[in-house]
């Protein structure tokens, strides 16, 4: 996957809040709840100004003992959610995989001294197919998923981002898919204060801090205001580390924000690097 760098500028990276379960297929049930998130995701192709040759998606919903790349050329669906309407267990997002990109990703990670393997069977989870249904509804861009590594070490996932950064010059869009606030036991209006406290820290870190400060703050994220209320377990935050690591010295911008999502949550998405 090589491209003439004189004609293609480097792609930015993203950390997106991916919403709950199979929400794009629940318009009837959810009404306008996801309209703003859907609009922000649908705007990403316009922001980057061209169609990437592939997307590398780091989803909160896949953890592995070592960094693992999806090598399946035709990934099936993984319905990794419960309690949703029956029809949402039949949805399809039929984008192709890319074994070629999977090999490239594995070699980049291994070259950085990190453990990496390819899973030839793995399917798409909802951290991938729900946002992708809004970003590229025709499922016409190849997508490869990349796992988190168990232990969820922030520094290690920043290093993962640095390792895969060359893909940005190869017309591959790197997307970290999580949620800026993820505490399913503290949702709705009563969570506004804590989600805002953590969200303000996240804005400061992602948008206003120097690149050096940003890395330090992310490594120490658990000491942020309301950190462990916002993320009792951090798998939905760690994809941010990958997006930042892959655009380490570059500016961040908030590209999606709601102040009362699901009745009271402060949620955001960020882009790193110029467009």
* pLDDT tens, position by position, 79-109: 999 999 999 999 999 999 999 999 999 999 9
Q: Tokens 């709840």, residue?
A: 33
Alpha-helical (H) ranges within 183-264 are 192-203, 211-219, 227-230, 238-245
Higher pLDDT among residues 150 and 186, named by residue: 150
| DSSP-assigned letter for residue 44 | H
Calpha distance 60→238 (Å, rounded) = 7
> In 10 A of CB 208, how many CB atoms?
11
173, β-bridge pairs: 55
Q: What is the pLDDT of residue 7?
A: 65
Q: Where are the domains of the chain?
A: 13-272
Q: Is the CB of residue 56 less than 8 Å from the CB of residue 175?
A: yes
Rounded CA-CA distance 206/248 in Å is 11
Domain 13-272 CATH class label: alpha beta
Q: How confident is the model at residue 184 (pLDDT cuts 50, 70, 90)?
A: confident
The helix (run of H) or strand (run of E) holding residue 149 is: strand 143-149
């Amino acid at each position: 996957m090589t491209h003439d760098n004189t004609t293609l500028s480097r792609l930015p990276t993203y950390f997106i809040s991916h919403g709950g379960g199979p929400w794009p297929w629940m318009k009837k049930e959810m009404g306008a709840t996801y309209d703003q998130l859907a609009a922000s995701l649908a705007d990403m192709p316009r922001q980057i100004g061209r169609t990437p040759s592939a997307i590398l998606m780091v989803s909160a919903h896949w953890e592995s003992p070592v960094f693992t790349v999806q090598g399946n050329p035709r990934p099936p669906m993984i319905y990794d959610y419960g309690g949703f309407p029956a029809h949402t267990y039949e949805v399809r997002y039929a984008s192709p995989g890319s074994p070629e990109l999977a090999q490239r990703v594995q070699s980049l990670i291994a070259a950085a001294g990190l453990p990496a393997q390819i899973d030839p069977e793995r399917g798409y989870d909802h951290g991938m197919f729900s946002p992708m249904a809004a970003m590229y509804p025709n499922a016409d861009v190849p997508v490869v998923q990349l796992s988190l590594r168990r232990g969820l070490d922030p520094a290690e996932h920043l290093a993962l981002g640095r390792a895969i950064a060359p893909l940005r010059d190869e017309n591959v869009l790197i997307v970290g898919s999580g949620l800026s606030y993820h505490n399913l036991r503290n949702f709705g209006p009563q969570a506004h204060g804590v989600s805002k406290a953590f969200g303000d820290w996240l804005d400061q870190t992602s948008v206003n801090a120097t690149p050096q400060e940003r890395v330090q703050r992310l490594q120490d994220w658990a000491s942020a205001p309301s950190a462990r209320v916002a993320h009792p377990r951090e798998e939905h935050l760690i994809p941010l580390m990958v997006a930042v690591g892959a655009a380490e010295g570059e500016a961040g911008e908030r590209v999606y924000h709601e102040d009362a999502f699901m009745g009271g949550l402060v949620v955001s998405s960020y882009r790193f690097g110029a467009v």
